Chain A
Amino acid sequence: MRKFAIYGKGGIGKSTTAANISASLARLGKKVIQIGCDPKADSTWNLLHGEPVMPVMDYYRTYTEEPDFEHIGKTGYGGVFCIETGGPTPGLGCAGRGIIATFDLIDELEVFDRIQPDVVLYDVLGDVVCGGFSAPIRDGYADEIFIVTSGEKMALYAAGNIIKAVENFKDRGYAQVRGIILNRRNVENEYDIVQAFANSHNLPIIADIPRSKEIQYYENQGMTVVEGNPDLPVSLLYQELARKLMDTPASDAR
């Protein structure tokens, strides 16, 4: 079982990337679980055709008890099992603790044992802002981290912070950063800027996703572009990225 975590600045396209990777892996015949770790709970929308799964924290809030296996997630496009941690009411509570509680429940319900996935993909909010948001890369969860960034200054700054946080965790046995996914925003000399950033951290750019109207078009229809039209150039790039993730041994982290 491969376990990947996708990090990056808020709004940079992590969920779009994660959902398209999941859809691509499903097309390769892989059994995938995607876990959205964001109070917005929008990671898996485009795998579920506009019928989202009830986030775990919403379930607790509504029913004052934990969901069982039948209610913790929902099967979406290509058999991808979708889970959303969700979070507390905005402005209240502790979203990070909600992620930890959801992971405890995933363990307790033996979700991985029951589904036997080939890949688990964690899509994590913005930055490693507290202990809860490092939970996906703690020992036993994701093994490999990928950072989504554009050539924009703030996106690279956030990416640098994530790398720094992970380096701080090196004696804790946490997952390691394996590469950069460039999600273009049409910044001038964007590839060169991101390449320089990646080089300075000794990381590869493993995908270069162009800005694409087709992504938005299919998302408006509640699906990933990979599902909507797998033969489009951008869809082929996601599928190539998915293949690359699977083909690269986990030990080639750096």
Chain B
Amino acid sequence: MKQAQRVLSTYAVDMFGIASALFELGGLVVMHDASGCNSTYDTHDEPRWYDTPSMVYISGLNEIDTIQGNDQRLIHDIAEVTDAVHPAFIAIGGSPMPNAIGTDFRAIEKMVQERTGIFTMGFRTDGIHSYLPGAGNAYVRLAQHFLKRPFRQPQRPARRINILGLTPLDFSVVGNATAIKTILTEAGFIIQSSWSMGDTLDNLFEAANADVNAVVSSTGLYLAQYMQEQYGIPYVAGIPMGKQGTADWLQALREGDTSYLTGLTGREPREKPQYALADLNAWKTETVYDDQPCDALVIGEPVYLLSMGNLLRHELGLSTVRLLCPLADAPQLLLRHIETVSVEPVIREECRKAQHVLADPIYARLLPEKQDAFISLPHEAYSGRHYHDEMPVIAGPDIADWLRDRLK
């Protein structure tokens, strides 16, 4: 029962990552499942659902089609919807049941594309892995098909920039996307494309003309590595947090300095999200770490963790900061300086050792007797819309003062 979550929640799953990444791009997104996934995603993990047109559908898989392995109804239904809504592309992914019966999404992709004439992506998702490789895979597949050849080489200092990994699952809709874009444009950058809030598919096609890629969440790392390999565009992982943190981030972007926060060279072998999605042991990480107390423990997604750790250490003067990622299928390259734990009792013990715990408020349930230690930083991919009112804008200089007040 080590994997049982008694008081904690689970993160948005792989298929939700795909739906979130593609939400604004004019494609038809189909979740192959009996029911439930679509409404769970739309009501909890997709704040744009209420005011933005989208094409996220559920297939309505039934028992006899599952037993028979009948993919034809799915294909027929997709073709019918396609005729009605004329999507720019089609994305189809699975939930636990199609995964259990070995549904061949590659074949479904081929058949749907042949039938509709529209570019189709089939994803071997299982509704068990996290949104990180899900969204990451969607970005890479989209880029592999749609990116136009660049007409210019990446320049130094960089000016044209892509923002990669920008979805509400990590940034919600509380102003982070606008803040990041404003910081960049005020610093003289030209935003080539934003993957994928506030941009169009046509604009994304031109992304290979950028000088640098800003990876603001792990979901963007896979695409960044792909574009580094294909077009020589360097990437920088990080979120601008605090005054110094924002200045350093901008400088790293100008220089295309991949080592910023990560220590990476940019020449590491590409991590492939489909491998993370196929890993059978993604949620079994239960390593116990040292017993030393620390000033702060931060829990969350890796790029956020590295950025927040930098802010706490260098701008807010905390000497011992530990970073903990419960998403064991996050890109391994980003986990070199991060501990991964996904088992509830172990996370509880880690929280106990910390003077402050910066995490989604659901984590505070782990230690009811130590509520004062928890600083609420809601994460859409974890608690959905539940704590929207408490969400600060994490991007920009002001987060430093917001935290300073709470760390007193």
With CB as the reference atom, state the residue of chain B lying closest to A171. Answer: B111
Whether, in the assembled complex, B7 has its beta carbon less than 8 Å from a beta carbon of chain A, the answer is no
**With the chains together, A131 CA to B69 CA distance in Å?**
8
- The answer to whether B114 and A171 have CB atoms under 8 Å apart is yes
Within 8 A of A (CB), among B180-204: none
Q: Which of B100, B110, B275 sits near A139, CB closer than 8 Å?
A: B110
Q: What string of 1s and 0s marks CB contacts (under 8 Å) between B103-144 and chain A?
A: 110110011001000000000000000000000000000000
Tell me whether A213 is interfacial, beta carbon within 8 Å. Answer: no
Give the segment of B40-48, B212-220, B279-287 that binds chain A. Answer: B279-287
Which among B107, B274, B279 is the interface contact of A172 at CB below 8 angstroms? B107
Contact bitstring A166-189, B, C-beta under 8 A = 1, else 0: 000101111000000000000000
Report which of B100, B104, B280 forms a contact with A94, defined as CB distance below 8 A: B100
A66 proximity list for chain B (CB < 8 A): 279-281
Assembly CA distance A64 to B100 (angstroms): 19
Minimum CB distance partner of B284 in chain A: A64
Interface range on chain A (Cβ under 8 Å from partner) = 20 to 34
- List 20 A-B residue pairs with CB atoms under 8 Å apart, sorted by A's residue number: A60-B280, A65-B284, A66-B279, A66-B280, A97-B101, A100-B102, A104-B278, A105-B278, A107-B274, A108-B278, A130-B69, A130-B101, A131-B101, A131-B102, A131-B103, A134-B104, A138-B104, A171-B114, A172-B104, A173-B107
Across the interface, do B102 and A130 meet the contact criterion of CB distance under 8 Å? yes
Shortest Cβ distance from B44 into chain A, in angstroms? 29
Q: Name the A residues within 8 Å of B274 (CB-CB).
A: 107
Question: Could you tell me if B280 and A135 are in contact, using CB atoms closer than 8 angstroms?
Answer: no
A253 at the interface (CB under 8 A from B): no
Residues of B contacting A101 in the complex (Cβ-Cβ under 8 angstroms)? 278, 280
**Assuming the A-B contacts A131-B101, A132-B102, are A64 and B281 also in contact, with contact meaning beta carbons closer than 8 angstroms in the complex?**
yes
| Residues of chain B contacted by A174 (CB below 8 angstroms) | 107
A97 pairs with B281, CB closer than 8 A: no
- B94 → chain A closest CB, angstroms: 12
Within A99-158, the residues touching B (CB, 8 Å) are: 100-101, 104-105, 107-108, 130-132, 134-135, 138-140
A69 to B12: give the CA distance in the assembly, Å. 31
CB distance from B96 to the nearest CB of A (A): 12
**Residue of B with least CB distance to A138:** B104
**Which B residue's beta carbon lies closest to that of A134?**
B104
Known: A65-B284, A96-B102. 5 other contacts (CB 8 A): A64-B284, A100-B102, A130-B101, A171-B111, A171-B114
Closest chain B CB from A174 CB (angstroms): 7
Give the residues in chain A near B101, CB-CB below 8 Å. 97, 130-131
Q: Which residue of A lies closest to B275 (CB)?
A: A108
Main secondary structure of the interface of A (DSSP, over half): helix
Contacts A172-B111, A173-B110 given; indicate if A131 touches B279 (C-beta within 8 A).
Answer: no
**How many angstroms between the C-alpha atoms of A140 and B110 in the bound complex?**
13
- Picked from B106, B107, B111, B275, the residue with its CB within 8 Å of the CB of A107 is B275
Nearest residue (CB) in B for A172 is B107
Chain B residues contacting A60 (CB-CB under 8 Å) are 280
- Complex contacts, B110 vs chain A, CB 8 Å: 139, 171-173
Give the complex CA separation of A105 and B274 in angstroms: 11
Closest chain B CB from A148 CB (angstroms) = 24
* A-side contacts of B107, CB under 8 Å: 138-139, 169, 172-174
Nearest B residue to A132, CB-CB: B102
- Closest A residue to B102 using CB positions: A131
Residues B54-105 near A (CB distance < 8 A):
69, 100-104
Within 8 A of A (CB), among B252-292: 274-275, 278-281, 284
> In the complex, what residues of B have CB within 8 A of residue A97's CB?
100-102
Return the 9 tightest CB-CB contacts between A and B, nearest first.
Answer: A131-B102, A172-B107, A104-B278, A108-B275, A132-B102, A100-B102, A173-B110, A139-B106, A65-B281
Closest CB-CB distance, A181 to chain B, in whole Å? 26
Q: How far is the CA of A114 from the CA of B102 in the complex (A)?
A: 27
- Report yes or no: B102 in contact with A135, Cβ–Cβ below 8 A: yes
When C-beta atoms are compared, the residue in chain A nearest to B110 turns out to be A173
How far apart are B342's CB and chain A's nearest CB, in angstroms? 14
Q: How distant is the Cα of A173 from the Cα of B103 in the complex, in angstroms?
A: 15
CB-CB under 8 A from A107, the residues of chain B are 274-275, 278
Distance to closest chain B CB from A82 (angstroms): 22
Give the CA-CA distance A225 to B106 in the complex, in Å: 39
In the complex, residue of chain B having the shortest beta-carbon distance to the beta carbon of A103: B278
Chain B proximity mask over A181-208: 1 for CB below 8 Å, otherwise 0: 0000000000000000000000000000
Within 8 A of B (CB), among A57-98: 60, 64-66, 94, 96-97
Instruction: Give the shortest distance, in Å, between B173 (CB) and chain A (any CB).
Output: 35
Complex Cα spacing A105 to B100, Å: 16
If A94-B100, A97-B100, A171-B111 touch, whether A138 touches B280 (CB-CB below 8 Å) is no
Q: How many Å from the CB of A164 to the closest CB on chain B?
A: 15
Q: Would A138 and B281 be within 8 Å (CB), given that A130-B101, A131-B101 are in contact? A: no
> Which A residue sits closest to B98, measured CB to CB?
A131
B314 to chain A, nearest CB (A): 37
With A66-B280, A101-B280, A171-B111 known as contacts, the answer to whether A138 contacts B69 (CB < 8 A) is no
B171 to chain A, nearest CB (A): 30
Residue of chain B at shortest CB distance from A108: B275
A34 to chain B minimum Cβ distance, whole angstroms, is 22
Contacts of B280 in A (CB 8 A): 60, 66, 101
Q: Bound state CA distance, A104 and B133, in angstroms?
A: 15
In the assembled complex, the CB of B404 is this many whole angstroms from the nearest CB of chain A, namely 43
